[in-house]
Structure 1
């Protein structure tokens, strides 16, 4: 796996409200600025663009994270697939390095993930125990729940930036270089703006009873 430190935004760990099912009646969450600023967002992003190589398309899958203080480390998942051992390796390196860089206490981290087998494997569960993550801070996404992840907007803008190149990438390595370059054009203020939008995202999806919103 290829890792590099990025001074831009790329992906998201989630919060206890990131993908919650929305009941017909509920109280809008009160998310303080302090809570917002203490959240680290991380996700696996798949970036697919047309490549000028025989066979048509090529893709690069990336895991990375953003925080209120800036951008974390990123990992290129070369074959586009992960096993439980690969996922744990990302947690052990890319995630932990990012937490260490910003001085975050991992015992205070709220971590949310879907029920993908590699996320719920015995290996992954044991990793959280061995690394002293608070078991009360480990959440699973409910099925059929809205995605409120602010990094999705970053991903969208990144793909737009990649689409305007006059010359397409000739292969995945060149594509990765362009991804790194364009990611570095995002600013910390942009990162904070996306994270600060979380209260409005939550209120909007509650008002829509779990349906579509402008986010």
Structure 2
């Protein structure tokens, strides 16, 4: 049955910031600087025991409406790409936006 499971999750990747670790080699006496403030991206991905489905860049802030749009546009195609067949179980974590009441 584990081959009939499809999971999804979101992640934020930061170039610099609280969630980012950066290791660099500098000459002694060099003062580290960051120009232009770094940056980050939010991603949504689906995956199963057989591989990864679609990877989607999330523009703006993630909320229940945007999450539903991502599922509507990508979940079925991911299941087809992963050859899960007509009947599979979709699993997500308990993030509030995953159970938001949207129209």
- Structure-1-length-normalised TM-score: 0.35
Q: Which of the residues 97, 112, 123 maps onto 2:77?
A: 97
- Aligned to 1:113, the other structure's residue is in SS state coil
Q: CA deviation at 1:121?
A: 2.1
Q: CA deviation at 1:107?
A: 4.2
Aligned residue pairs, count: 87
Over 3 Å off, 4+ runs: none
Unaligned ranges ≥5, structure 1: 1-34, 127-215
Does the aligned pair in 2 maintain the 1:64–1:94 contact within 8 Å? no
Unaligned ranges ≥5, structure 2: 17-33
- Structure-2-length-normalised TM-score: 0.67
Q: CA deviation at 1:112?
A: 3.2
Bigger share in helix: 1
- Aligned to 1:90, the other structure's residue is in SS state helix
Alignment of 1:180-195 (within 5 A): none
Alignment of 1:126-141 (within 5 A): none
Q: Rg larger in 1 or in 2?
A: 2
Q: Give the corresponding residue for 1:158.
A: none
